[in-house]
Amino acid sequence: MNLNLKQLEAFVWAIDLGSFSKAAARLNTTQPNISVRIRSLENALGVQILERDAGSVRLTARGKTLLAHSRDVLNAVESLYAASDDESQRQGTLRLGVTELIVHTWLQDFLKVLNEKYPNIQVELTVDLSANLSRELSERGLDIALQNGPFDNVMSGERDLGTYPLIWVASPQLIFPKTTLKGKALTAMALTKYPILTHARESELFKAISAHFTSEKTNDVNLVPSSNLAACLFMAKNKMGVATLPRTMAADAIQNNELFELNYAWTPDSLTFKARYDENKSPGYVSAIADIARSVSTQYEASTSG
């Protein structure tokens, strides 16, 4: 019997992703190679494990049993790496999804720690809206996502990554009622005198802001969505409107007097972040990477809270 780990990986990923082509992309090889590996596995075991249809694959009855055993073998290899106390020799590709706020806060520190512990793991980074990351995660296009809620689906693996409050900001050169400088809150009418710079239409932030001003019955509110929160920050600094942003993103601009915090009675709910992954199907080191994310995010929060 001539078995190897590449055959087992091809088998497991073809089932998890639903096609040979997706398994090939996940394993950085070609579709014919995946087909050859699985055929070799079937020959070595002397059984048919997959039924092949155009564009899809299905397990045979025997294949269902062998899939569980294949996962056990791959998990045993993960345990062997962990027992060696030297994760630096581990090789592979980590498909990491993050939302934009992570990019502008502690992603650099996270990647530094990740590379120190897993120097031979290649990171494929996707920066996107949380809803899109959730979809990729559920379809196994990502190994782990560092993202903000709310979440439409439940993942078996999660780590808390902190909460980030939002504030309203504007350029000091925009004109607001003088009473606001004395601590009196802005009215919705005064706030919406200027365009409201916010996140993309598909984001929870845009939906919350839109719902709020609808409930306030504010006339002629001008919501200006952007797929990039940093663009909202730049536009606010350039007097192009008011914005609600995570405090941590606006902190430097406020300190440099490029922006100031507006006193408005309502803000969207704080952004709650989690590291999310499939604990049942992911390699063991993904759980360890989630722990790294939690540790780095905690250190970042401690360094900025004072």
User: In this prediction, what percent of the chain has a pLDDT beyond 70?
Assistant: 95
The band of 139, judged by pLDDT with boundaries at 50, 70 and 90, is confident
The band of 181, judged by pLDDT with boundaries at 50, 70 and 90, is low
The band of 283, judged by pLDDT with boundaries at 50, 70 and 90, is confident
**CB-CB neighbours of 89 under 10 Å:** 10
Spatial contact of 236 and 206, defined as CB atoms under 8 Å apart = no
Q: Which two tokens stand for residue 49?
A: 């494990």
Q: Is the peptide bond before 150 cis (omega within 30 degrees of 0)?
A: yes
Q: Which residue has the higher pLDDT, 211 or 27?
A: 211
What's the whole-model pTM score? 0.79
pLDDT at 306: 57
Q: What is the mean pLDDT of residues 204-230?
A: 90
Mean pLDDT score across all residues of the chain: 89
User: How far is 267 from 271, CA to CA, in rounded Å?
Assistant: 11
CATH match for 5-83 among 1.20.1070.10, 1.10.3720.10, 1.10.10.10, 1.10.260.40: 1.10.10.10
Domain ranges (residues) in the chain: 5-83, 90-162+271-305, 166-261
Spatial contact of 271 and 163, defined as CB atoms under 8 Å apart = yes
pLDDT at 268: 95
pLDDT in tens, 194-208: 999 999 998 999 999
Give the pairing of strands 196-199 and 242-246. parallel
- Please give the CATH number for the structural domain made up of 90-162+271-305: 3.40.190.10
Q: Which residue has the higher pLDDT, 202 or 108?
A: 108
The band of 24, judged by pLDDT with boundaries at 50, 70 and 90, is confident
The band of 125, judged by pLDDT with boundaries at 50, 70 and 90, is very high
Q: What is the mean pLDDT of residues 253-258?
A: 96
Q: Which residue has the higher pLDDT, 61 or 146?
A: 146
Q: Which residue has the higher pLDDT, 78 or 50?
A: 50
Q: Which two tokens stand for residue 26?
A: 């996940």
166-261 matches 90-162+271-305 in CATH topology: yes
Q: Which CATH class is domain 166-261?
A: alpha beta
Q: Is the pLDDT of residue 180 over 70?
A: no
